[in-house]
Amino acid sequence: MGRSFAQLFITLLILGACLLSRFGEVHVPDRLQRVQQRDKLVVLTRLGASTYYQSNEGPEGIEYDLAKRFADRLGVQLMMALADDLDRLGVQLETGMADLAAMGTTATPWRRKRFAFATPYLHVRPQLVYRAGSRRPGGLASTVSGSLAVLAGTRPEWLLSRRQADIPQLRWTALTRATSEDLLYRVWSRRIDYAVVNSNEFTLSQHFYPELRVAGNIGKPQGVAWMFRRDGDTSLLDAANRFFADLRRSGELDQLIEHYYGHLDKFDYVGTRVFIRHITDRLPLYRQAFQEAAQKYQLDWRLLAAIGYQESHWNPEAKSPTGVRGMMMLTQPTARALGVDDRLDAGQSIFGGAAYLKRMLLRIPEQMAEPERTWFALAAYNIGYGHLVDAQTITEMQAADPESWAAVRKRLPLLAQKKWYKRVKYGYARGWQPVRYVENVRKYYRLLVRITEPAILDPKHIEADKALLESRSPFYLEGAAQSLY
């Protein structure tokens, strides 16, 4: 009896110790779990065409779009946090004021020591920029006789500091609380002679400052990637890497890059200068008609105006060798079907073009997301809906996504090849034309948006931009945010 009691007592002691051990454990959630528990992903970013900005349509920018998709994947709300001083970025990220930084940044050696980086989603090169009409620099050594500037805390600044060992007389100004657009505007307005910016930032701004030129590349290509705290907890970083891997596999990443950069692969200096001049001397004559037609058909008037410029350079009496005429270059059968009696009447032509674009939009499946749906409608406006469907069929034949404009634009030129047009319903078409057509309309449209919404990335009003973002963004970092951890 005594022995069995002792055994029972020991068993109870062991069981009690196990229970105490189990209930005494404190489960500390990892970073990914904390993001999901608070239902909020806070992302550090900076104002810029290559990152994040606000338009009349809401927030835009490739970093915003990527962050929004990541937050949706995690099932949480997104809060964008503006950090306008890159030198303070490290402190803000390390002290837990944000979960990650998505600022269009590349990994400098000192950053890699302090932070962890996700897989790059884009590769860029630092470029030396000057204004046409000024002396073209042969390299960094040629800039010592002029003024050179970079954004503080960026890889271009790090590269300059490295090159100073070889060029002791090299000097530059590192701008804080500024954007790449501000930097490029200073070169364009001759306030400084040279700047070093990343290639994607120059590409996005070149159409706004057509006199700017690239003298050459500075350094090797580097990957643009998100930054995370380096403290041993890689749960959120691992989730981000899985997210980017899935975006690549699905083709969605290519679609995003195409959306922001695909229409900017070739720059036409003369055409851009002429367009800007016509905005002043021609567009005011027809702007009201574009706006009224857009309102009637629930379209963006600037998109209609961009189509009108691509078609006729806003010339109501334009005529092509194939017989299309007027502001929106309507064919006779199309005009008749749309109730346009006089194709040379600017108002009738604009309303007819708006009605025709709306028809094309209604034929594009509703489940297709914007802006892909608009690009497809523009292609159909130019080449006809049937030929567009043929290009989508070829896209499917080649095991690509027929609802991706990036994929279909690659197959449209195949409509001019006998090997392919014999296999589709509507036959031969000059398929390269709608590709260039859509690219040009997109360029004109983005320029019109930029001009008609001066608060977007206006380099002359940087403080106004920040005030706009502060009022619209749900979270603005200016030393007042609390740590999330």
**Buried/exposed code over 428-464 (b: 16+ C-beta within 10 A; e: otherwise):** ebebebbbebbbbbbbbbbbbbbeebeebbbbeebee
pLDDT digits over 261-300, tens only?
Answer: 765 555 555 567 788 888 888 999 999 999 999 999 999 9
DSSP 82: E
Return the SS3 of 272.
Answer: helix
Query: Hey, where are the domains in the chain?
Result: 31-121+225-250, 124-221, 269-313+348-449
Question: Would the CATH topology of 31-121+225-250 be identical to that of 124-221?
Answer: yes
CA distance 327 to 154: 46
Q: Which of 181, 311, 372, 439 is catalytic?
A: 311
- Encoded tokens for 349: 């032509």
Q: How many CB atoms lie within 10 A of CB 368?
A: 17
Cβ-contact 301, 451 below 8 angstroms: no
Cβ-contact 197, 49 below 8 angstroms: no
- Residue of 200, 29, 231, 236 whose CA lies nearest to 118: 236
pLDDT digits over 128-151, tens only?
Answer: 999 988 888 888 888 888 899 998
Kindly report the average pLDDT of the chain as a whole number: 82
Return the SS3 of 79.
Answer: strand
DSSP 144: G
- Look at strands 227-229 and 115-117 and give their pairing: antiparallel
Domain 124-221 has CATH 3.40.190.10: yes
Return the pLDDT at 40: 93
Q: Identity (one letter) of the amino acid at 125?
A: R
To which residue do tokens 């740590």 refer? 483
Contacts of 116 (CB under 8 A, 6+ apart): 227, 228, 229, 230, 234, 237
CA distance 413 to 395: 11
Q: How many CB atoms lie within 10 A of CB 334?
A: 18
Q: Which residues pair with 101 in a beta bridge?
A: 44, 227
pLDDT < 50 stretches in the chain: 20, 24, 457-481
Peptide bond into 29 cis (omega under 30): no
CA angle 26, 31, 34 (to 5 degrees): 70
To which residue do tokens 């609390």 refer? 482
Return the SS3 of 154.
Answer: coil
CA distance 171 to 163: 10
Cβ-contact 412, 392 below 8 angstroms: no
Name the phi and psi angles at 164, rounded to 5: -65, -25
Cβ-contact 369, 69 below 8 angstroms: no
CA angle 403, 80, 262 (to 5 degrees): 35
Return the pLDDT at 412: 92
Contacts of 46 (CB under 8 A, 6+ apart): 52, 82, 83, 84, 86, 103, 104, 179
Write the class of the CATH domain 31-121+225-250: alpha beta
Cβ-contact 57, 472 below 8 angstroms: no
Alpha-carbon torsion (81, 244, 252, 217), positive or negative: positive
Q: Which residues pair with 227 in a beta bridge?
A: 101, 117
CA angle 122, 128, 129 (to 5 degrees): 105
- Encoded tokens for 443: 């360029």
What distance, in Å, lies between the first and last C-alpha atoms of the chain?
Answer: 56
**Buried/exposed code over 292-331 (b: 16+ C-beta within 10 A; e: otherwise):** ebbeebebbbbbbbbbbbbbbebbbebeeeeebbbbbbbe
Return the pLDDT at 288: 95
Reply yes or no on whether 252 is catalytic: no
Using only C-alpha atoms, what is the Rg of the chain? 28
Rounded to the nearest 10°, the torsion over CA 196, 202, 207, 210 is 20
